[in-house]
Amino acid sequence: MGLTIPREMVAGCGAGTCQVIITTPMEMLKIQLQDAGRVASQQLVRGVHCTAPGCKLVAVSPPLTRAYNIGPAALTRRPSATQIAVELLRTQGIKGLYKGLGATLLRDVPFSIIYFPLFAHLNRVGQGTPEGRAPFHRSFLAGCVAGSVAAVSVNPCDVIKTRLQSLSKGTNEESYTGIVDCARRIWLKEGPSAFLKGAGCRALVIAPLFGIAQVIYFIGVGEFLLDLSRYSRFST
C-alpha span between 45 and 32 (Å, rounded) = 20
**Which residue type is seen at 51?**
T
Q: How far apart are CA 142 and CA 83, in angstroms?
A: 40
Rounded to the nearest 5°, which phi and psi values hold at 132? -70, 155
pLDDT, one tens digit per residue, over 9-50 is 999 999 999 999 988 888 888 888 877 666 556 555 555 444
- The answer to whether the CB of 75 falls within 8 A of the CB of 43 is yes
* CA-to-CA separations, 159 to 116, 131, 137, 144, 192, in angstroms, rounded: 22, 40, 32, 21, 12
Judged on CB neighbours under 10 Å (0-12, 13-18, 19+), 79 is: buried
- Tell me the pLDDT of the chain averaged across its residues: 78
Average confidence (pLDDT) over 167-191: 80
* Most confidently modeled range among 25-34, 106-115, 122-131: 106-115
Which of 155, 158, 154 minimizes the C-alpha distance to 110? 154
* 182 within 8 A of 107, measured Cβ to Cβ: no
Closest CA to 214 of 148, 131, 116, 129: 116
Amino acid letter, 149: V
Using the CB atoms, write b or e for 134-162: b if 16+ within 10 Å.
beeebbbbbbbbbbbbbbbbbbbbbbbbb
Q: 99 burial class (0-12, 13-18, 19+ CB within 10 angstroms)?
A: buried
Q: Which residues contact 110 (CB under 8 A, 6 or more apart)?
A: 16, 150, 153, 154, 157
d(CA 88, CA 81): 11
Q: Which residue has the higher pLDDT, 31 or 222?
A: 31
Residues with Cβ within 8 Å of 153's Cβ and at least 6 positions away in sequence, in order, are 110, 111, 114
**Mean pLDDT on 177-201:** 91
Backbone angles phi, psi at 25, to 5 degrees: -60, -35
**Digit-coded pLDDT (tens) for 1-11:** 677 888 999 99
